[in-house]
Amino acid sequence: MSTRLFSVFLVPALLLTAAKKPSGSGRGENQDFILTATLHVDPANIKELLGSDLGGHYMVAEVKIEPKYGKEVDIDRDDFQLRSDNDGEKAKPYVATQIAGQDALVITERPGEGKPGGGGWTLGGGPVVMGKGRGDANQGPEKVEMKSEEKANPLVKVLDDRMLKNAKTDKPISGLLYFAMEKQKLKDLELIYGTGENRIAVRFK
C-alpha cells in the first residue's frame, strides 16, 4: 500500500519538474566561431545565478564564443537577439544600468490608465515607478519625471562584471546577456546572433 501511495505522489512531481524547464542549453556555429548558450527563464533560477531575480522581468543567457582556427572575431552584444515563436516578441540585450541603474522613470497616472501600484517594469535608465494622479480617466499620464537614488545599486556592478563584453579576440570568451522578456516558454525561444550567411540561431533543450 505504501509503495502504491509513493508512486501516486512521485509521478506528478516528476511531471511538474519536467514541465517547468527553468533552463535549457543549445549550440550553433558559423565559419568564424562556435556559440554555446544556456538560457535561464525562471526568476528563481536567475536569483540563484545573480543573487537577484531582476524583478521577474528578465531572462538571462550564459553564452560562450569560441573562435575557430585562431581567427580574431569581433563580438558585439547588439548583434544578439532573443525571439519567441509564440507571439513574435523580440528583445535585444540590456546593459547593467538599464536594469538596476540609479535613475528611475516616475509616471503619475490618471485613474483608469496603465498599471497601478509600485511597479517593477524597466524602461530606459531604470525601474518604472507608477503612481496615481487626478484628472479625466480617459486621458494619458499626467506627469513624467526622472528621480535618482542617492546610493548606487550594488547589483549594477554584479551585472556589469558578469555581462558579455564587446571585444575583438581570438580566444574563447564568455559572459551573460540580459533580455527584458518574461512569461515565454523555453521551447518557443530562439537566440539569434548576426545576420546573413554568418547568422547563428540557437534553440534550447
Reading the block at residue 178, the C-alpha cell is: 540580459
Question: Residue 137: which domain range?
Answer: 103-148
**DSSP letter (8 states) at residue 68:** S
Name the phi and psi angles at 78, rounded to 5.
Answer: -65, -15
**Residue-level pLDDT at 92:** 97
80 with 142, same domain? no
Q: pTM for the full model?
A: 0.70
Q: What is the pLDDT of residues 4-28, one digit of tens each?
A: 544 444 444 444 444 456 899 999 9
**Residue-level pLDDT at 103:** 56
76 with 109, same domain? no
Judge whether 15 lies within some domain. no
**Residue-level pLDDT at 121:** 44
- In sequence order, what are the beta bridge partners of 169? 73
Place of cell 547588439: 78
Q: Which of 49-63, 74-88, 116-130, 134-148 has the lowest mean pLDDT?
A: 116-130
pLDDT band at 1 (very low <50, low <70, confident <90, very high): low
Arithmetic mean of pLDDT, 34-51: 96
Contact 75, 167 (CB under 8 A): yes
% of the chain with per-residue pLDDT over 70 = 65
138 with 87, same domain? no
Phi-psi region of 102 (alpha: psi -120 to 50; beta: other; left: phi over 0): alpha
Arithmetic mean of pLDDT, 105-111: 44
**Residue-level pLDDT at 143:** 54
